[in-house]
Amino acid sequence: MTSKTNAIIGAGTTLSFEDPDNASTFLELIEARTIGAIGQQGEFVETTPINATTRTYIPGLKTPPDKEITGNDIPGDATQEKFLALANRNATVNMKVVLSNGRTGAFKLALSGWQINEPQGGEALQWTVYGKQSGEVNWTVSNVTMTTLNHKEKKAA
Question: Tens digit of pLDDT for each residue in 108-137?
Answer: 999 999 999 999 999 999 999 999 999 999
Q: Are 125 and 73 in contact (CB under 8 A)?
A: yes
Radius of gyration for the alpha carbons in the chain, expressed in angstroms and rounded: 20
3-state secondary structure 38-56: CCCEEEEEECCCCCCCCCC
The pLDDT tens digits of the residues spanning 21-71 come to 999 999 999 999 999 999 999 999 999 999 999 999 999 999 999 999 999
Please, what is the end-to-end C-alpha distance for the chain in angstroms?
A: 30
Dmax over CA atoms of the chain, in Å, equals: 66
User: Model confidence at 4, in pLDDT bands (50, 70, 90)?
Assistant: low
pTM of the model: 0.82
Q: Stretch 98-108: mean pLDDT, rounded?
A: 95
Task: Collapse the DSSP code of 123 into the 3-class scheme (helix H, G, I; strand E, B; otherwise coil) and give the result.
Answer: coil
